[in-house]
Structure 1
């Protein structure tokens, strides 16, 4: 279903009917020394793939700005990263508000310096039949999943381009979803926003690539995050369609997606892993 999840990972890991566990480990197994000294911004850092990515980047020596609306969670994550020897800055920001994003960029510049790595992981997933007419949900998904990414790109493009012009590695990573190209009933608007994001990243490569800024799209399949808990339709949520998919397929962990992002941005600067689709084996 793309970037969705429920916190049911413990259930999925149990052995059933003599089969081995679906997910033997949630922990990444690789380290990326080339990330040391980089300055990263991660949106959606309060939970899920954003939080996992921030922790991985910091563990490998990057200074990480944590952007999300939930300041309490950001502070907890920054403290956790700091206790582990990393460097993180909690920056409350709302990607649906340009003034908020611009203010966050100013603070990052003042406290961490020029950004050379941007991971756009903020997103919402609110499925419902189109004939329910949930304009509130449609607006929220479009404003977060598409326009929100554009706001963040607008705020940090200058840093990325300047970094690349100076001969250093510069990365923009857009976290999309397999829903960008796979149809799921009742996910029409969510899928449309992710298709727009994937196509946006494709187009940005034509603008940024000639200036040595890498643009990568990561499209996860079924993944364990908190997004599933935001679904207000019981037949589609954790006690319905989504929960059944978790039980049948077994999700990826947020840490496994973070590991893919870490690998992507740690390649030599002339190597652009442009489009990665990451699925649980049973969904592939």
Structure 2
């Protein structure tokens, strides 16, 4: 479904190479926005940009690296100018029992899911403030997870990073809201993305715990989440849908 995006929005979407990020990029281009596609996999970005046409710009970047994000900002500004919509969709989900002591996985999730969001906010937050001051609609939308609230065994660190994103969004709203920048947290439930393919514990992945959840509940598609994002950012400038949870109907 198309949603109105007033004034031809200029957007940055992280995690745009796959999953929710890719779907959001597709949705926003369909709605008339110019979209910078940020992710690490340059080949996937180039392919998506070619498919989406002249309103999509491939910008290879690693959100865990502040220098990489700063370089992406320069590239975006040179090609598209000031940004008025930022969607943080980059994320990684690596469940394992905390007893396993997987510092490598913990660090990767914290660096991507939380610190990566901060790097992007640091880079593009001033754009959002300037856009709002000029009278434009300005949005920061962070993709969190129902795991921020609901406890799943083996997902302690993932859930902690997403709880941090949800809390960060709430705190940022207190700083940005008075300057007319909207901040929204979207918390999807079970969604069919490639995140499950990153799980290295067979008992927990698509052939184990995660797969059993898909079989029992069914899942959202990335396009379902993207449709919601398009709706949220298409509201009138004075309306902020601050915290939106979207679940498969069978997920409690």
TM > 0.5 between the two? yes
Shift of 1:32: 1.4
Check 1:36–1:59 CA distance in 2 against 1; reply closer, same or farther (3 A cut): farther
Partner of 2:36: 65
Retained in 2: the 8 A contact 1:36–1:60?
no
- Which of 185, 210, 216 is 2:178 aligned to? 210
SS at 1:239's partner residue? coil
CA distance, structure 2, for counterparts of residue 281 and residue 37 of structure 1: 34
Alignment gaps of 5+ in structure 2:
none
Partner of 2:222: 254
Shift of 1:36: 5.5
Partner of 1:271: 239
SS at 1:200's partner residue? helix
CA distance, structure 2, for counterparts of residue 261 and residue 31 of structure 1: 11
SS at 1:33's partner residue? coil
Superposition pairs of residues 1-284 of structure 1, within 5 angstroms: 30-35=1-6, 37-82=8-53, 87-284=55-252
CA distance, structure 2, for counterparts of residue 120 and residue 53 of structure 1: 10
Give 1 or 2 for the bigger CA radius of gyration.
1
CA distance, structure 1, for counterparts of residue 7 and residue 92 of structure 2: 31
Residues 40-59 of structure 1 show CA distances to partners (whole Å, capped at 9, x for unaligned) of 00000000000000011001
Residues 73-127 of structure 1 show CA distances to partners (whole Å, capped at 9, x for unaligned) of 0000001101xxx510000000010000000000000000100000000000000
CA distance, structure 2, for counterparts of residue 275 and residue 238 of structure 1: 29
Retained in 2: the 8 A contact 1:120–1:173?
yes
TM-score w.r.t. structure 1 length? 0.88
Residues 215-274 of structure 1 show CA distances to partners (whole Å, capped at 9, x for unaligned) of 000000000000000000000000000001101110000000000000000000000000
Retained in 2: the 8 A contact 1:36–1:61?
no
Retained in 1: the 8 A contact 2:2–2:31?
yes
Once superposed, which parts of structure 1, at least 4 consecutive aligned residues long, lie more than 3 Å away? none
Retained in 2: the 8 A contact 1:40–1:117?
yes
Q: Which has the higher contact order (CA 8 A, sep 6+)?
A: 1
C-alpha RMSD of matched pairs (Å): 0.7
Shift of 1:33: 2.5
SS at 1:238's partner residue? coil
TM-score w.r.t. structure 2 length? 0.99
Retained in 1: the 8 A contact 2:5–2:33?
no
CA distance, structure 1, for counterparts of residue 26 and residue 162 of structure 2: 25
Alignment gaps of 5+ in structure 1:
1-29
Count of residues in correspondence between the two structures: 252
